[in-house]
Amino acid sequence: MHVIIAGNSESDGQEVVRKIKEETLTGKVEFLYCDLASMKSIRQFVQEFRARNCPLHVLVNNAGVMLVPERKTEDGFEEHFGLNYLGHFLLTNLLLDTLKQSGTHSHNARIITVSSATHYVGKLHLNDLQSRCSYSPHGAYAQSKLALVLFTYRLQHLLTANGSHVTANVVDPGVVNTELYKHVFWVVKVVKWMTAWIFFKTPEEGASTTIYAAVSPEVEGAGGCYLYNEERTKSADLAYDEELQRRLWTESCKMVGISDEASRLP
């Protein structure tokens, strides 16, 4: 595979590229800068990617922040919602044409979006998606992860209605020992440090279901699934609300400034 790593740290990205080349002895990996907290950066990334005239068979949406203090992205969005959700929403939509051109009847292009079990307790406040009325780091994070599940299900519906050879699935990686927890309360950090080797997955273990969704023949042609430990499982009941999916999609298009093509589909 030709792998393109998108990230907001040039130095970290280039270091990962170096390690992958060293371990796999392949030159088919590169880094492109993309800050998912910036709509401008996302659009620039897509332009750079398109300039390469590469097909796109697998898109993995796997960026995020968790429990950050109340703050906004450069576009004025609450950071959890703006980065975790809207950034991926815009990136995916801007790359959809390339994905559709790359998929075939026997080998669908695949979109994998990483959510979290936190979505089970999430609530979607359509009248206050930016958490302006009442901000809670836990609530904002859970809402962003629920939004990713709703987005994936709506996206799959639209792809199917369009006859596209592209599938969209959502992954729960489990509790993984990464830097994502740097904003939690210090007591939680201590407990995490003491128990991580028992209860937390390593990053490699946490990536297993994402890789399964990206390359396994078992999910070829299957979309609209919630995957955990490499198995299809049930997401939150609220995530199956098709009216909520539709309303979130329409509102998201307005927020990121793209046309709602869904309105022209059955």
Q: What is the pLDDT of residues 125-176, one digit of tens each?
A: 998 898 888 888 889 999 999 999 999 999 999 999 999 999 999 999 866 4
pLDDT (0 to 100) of residue 158: 96
Closest CA to 80 of 24, 21, 139, 32: 139
Helix or strand run (H / E) with residue 19 = helix 10-24
Contact by Cβ (8 Å): 56, 102:
yes
Edge-first strand order for the sheet with 109-114 is 58-61, 109-114, 166-172, 226-228, 231-233
- Tracing tokens 């060293």 back to the chain, one arrives at 22
Helix or strand run (H / E) with residue 51 = helix 39-51
pLDDT (0 to 100) of residue 179: 55
141 in active site = yes
Pair of tokens at residue 201: 């997955």
Q: Once rounded to an integer, what is the mean pLDDT over residues 226-246?
A: 96
Catalytic residue among 85, 120, 141, 226: 141
Interatomic CA distance for residues 61 and 68, integer angstroms: 20
Helix or strand run (H / E) with residue 143 = helix 137-161
pLDDT in tens, 82-133: 999 999 999 999 999 999 999 999 999 999 999 998 999 999 999 889 888 8
pLDDT (0 to 100) of residue 214: 96
Interatomic CA distance for residues 189 and 164, integer angstroms: 45
pLDDT in tens, 26-73: 779 999 999 999 999 999 999 999 999 999 999 999 988 887 889 999
Q: Once rounded to an integer, what is the mean pLDDT over residues 172-185?
A: 54
Q: Once rounded to an integer, what is the mean pLDDT over residues 238-243?
A: 97
pLDDT (0 to 100) of residue 200: 57
> Which range is least confidently modeled, 5-14, 98-107, 201-210, 218-227?
201-210
pLDDT (0 to 100) of residue 203: 66
pLDDT at 188 over 60: no
pLDDT (0 to 100) of residue 69: 86
